[in-house]
Amino acid sequence: MTQSSTQVNEKNQPLTVFIISDSSGETAEGVARAALVQFPAGTTSIYRLPQVRSTENIKTFVRTAAAAKGLIAYTLVLPEYRETLVAETEKLKIPTVDVLGPLISRVSALTSTIPLSQPGRLHQLDETYFRRIEAVDFAIRFDDGKHPEGVLQADVVLLGVSRTSKTPNSIYLAHHYGLKSANIPIILKVEPPNILFKIPVNKIVGLTIEPHLLQEIRSTRTQVLGMSSANEYSDLEQVTQEVRYAKKLFRELKCHVIDVSAKAIEETSSEIYLFLRQ
């Protein structure tokens, strides 16, 4: 990690992290956001400039960051762009973070291989890309119990009562891991489709949640939809029965179960992915 001498924000304004890249800039922004969530809201903000195509773009960007007393995080794979950025930021004493450079340099040294220095290789239309697109299409086609006969083609089948994040996890698994994910809702007093019992148990994941938390989520949902607050969907007793019914089905299937209470989609999906790799 390369960092020039730091500046102090004299007006105690939120620190702006300026992201610059000769590709999409998504990598640097993702790393920045992962770091910035560790700080109180309002402490920082992010500004991204993707697809840099000239050294003049870089110089202008650096001057903007200097005027705002910001921090620059960059993913520039072209040597001339990196050299320009380093020279300009050192001249104006702007703190910087090279997101990819140290790792690229270490891999190059350990493999005795010269980096390709080609922006955008992460987003090339290769086999992995098309596999993920196909997986996203699969997740949409087999969402929420649609076409249950197709679940036998799935890499993973998610089960759970309403609002246990089945759909978001299916899409995330498809987009980030290229996994074909189907999901089937569990409805109280409704028998699950018979085909569910034909799926290998190591491909089934049950999603459960604390009833009180689920009741809060559903109450918010009913308000958004303009529904009356007095309804079975968000009734705590009804919700509790649904969760118990789902757990009973999970035991019958002997499937892996994940408690999604207060978990982000990324956390749940990574846990599902790790389970499938076992």
Q: What CATH number is associated with residue 27?
A: 3.40.50.2300
Q: Quick check: 34 pLDDT over 70? A: yes
Q: What is the mean pLDDT of residues 2-18?
A: 62
Which CATH number characterizes residue 253's domain?
A: 3.40.50
Residue among 201, 1, 243 nearest 99 (CA): 1
DSSP state of 119: T
pLDDT tier for residue 125 given thresholds of 50, 70 and 90: low
Q: Are 96 and 74 in contact (CB under 8 A)?
A: yes
Domain count for the chain, please give it.
2
The per-residue pLDDT for 266 is 94
Q: Are residues 93 and 223 in the same domain?
A: no
Half-sphere exposure of 251 (CA within 13 A, CB side): 6
Q: What sign results for the dihedral spanned by CA atoms 137, 150, 209, 226?
A: positive
d(CA 170, CA 40): 31
d(CA 226, CA 223): 5
The per-residue pLDDT for 226 is 83
Which of 104, 123, 142 represents a domain boundary (last residue)?
123
Q: Are residues 168 and 268 in the same domain?
A: yes
Q: Are residues 148 and 23 in the same domain?
A: no
* In a domain? residue 9: no
DSSP state of 10: T
Q: Are residues 116 and 134 in the same domain?
A: no
The per-residue pLDDT for 88 is 97
Q: What is the mean pLDDT of residues 1-14?
A: 50
* In a domain? residue 3: no
d(CA 101, CA 217): 43
Average pLDDT score over the chain: 90
238 vs 229, more confident: 238
Biggest CA-to-CA distance, the chain = 70
Q: pLDDT tens-digit profile of 51-62?
A: 999 999 999 999
The per-residue pLDDT for 267 is 95
Range of the domain at 25: 15-123
Which of 96, 123, 150 represents a domain boundary (last residue)?
123
* In a domain? residue 259: yes
Q: Quick check: 190 pLDDT over 50? A: yes
Residue among 124, 146, 134 nearest 177 (CA): 134
Which of 123, 140, 155 represents a domain boundary (last residue)?
123
- Cα of first residue to Cα of last residue in the chain, in angstroms, is 34
Q: What sign results for the dihedral spanned by CA atoms 49, 55, 57, 61?
A: positive
The per-residue pLDDT for 124 is 59
Q: In what order do the strands lie in the sheet with 44-49?
A: 44-49, 15-21, 71-75, 96-98
Q: Are 53 and 150 in contact (CB under 8 A)?
A: no
Q: Are 213 and 270 in contact (CB under 8 A)?
A: no
d(CA 180, CA 142): 9
Q: Are residues 136 and 91 in the same domain?
A: no
Q: Are residues 137 and 268 in the same domain?
A: yes
Q: Are residues 49 and 141 in the same domain?
A: no
Residue 88 corresponds to which amino acid?
Answer: E
Q: pTM of the full predicted structure?
A: 0.69
Q: pLDDT tens-digit profile of 75-111?
A: 998 889 999 999 999 999 999 999 988 998 899 999 9
Q: Are 161 and 185 in contact (CB under 8 A)?
A: yes
Q: Quick check: 7 pLDDT over 60? A: no
- What are 93's two structure tokens? 């004493």
In the block, tokens 């992201």 appear at 19
Q: What is the mean pLDDT of residues 139-157?
A: 93
Q: Are residues 133 and 269 in the same domain?
A: yes
The per-residue pLDDT for 1 is 35
pLDDT tier for residue 225 given thresholds of 50, 70 and 90: confident
Q: Are residues 75 and 160 in the same domain?
A: no
* In a domain? residue 201: yes
116 vs 175, more confident: 175
d(CA 64, CA 19): 12
Q: Are residues 92 and 156 in the same domain?
A: no
* In a domain? residue 10: no
* In a domain? residue 42: yes
Of 50-59, 177-186, 217-226, the one with minimum mean pLDDT is 217-226
The per-residue pLDDT for 123 is 59
Q: Are residues 152 and 271 in the same domain?
A: yes
Q: Are residues 115 and 180 in the same domain?
A: no
pLDDT tier for residue 3 given thresholds of 50, 70 and 90: very low
168 three-state secondary structure: helix
d(CA 247, CA 227): 28
Length of the chain: 278
* In a domain? residue 243: yes
* In a domain? residue 7: no
pLDDT tier for residue 130 given thresholds of 50, 70 and 90: confident
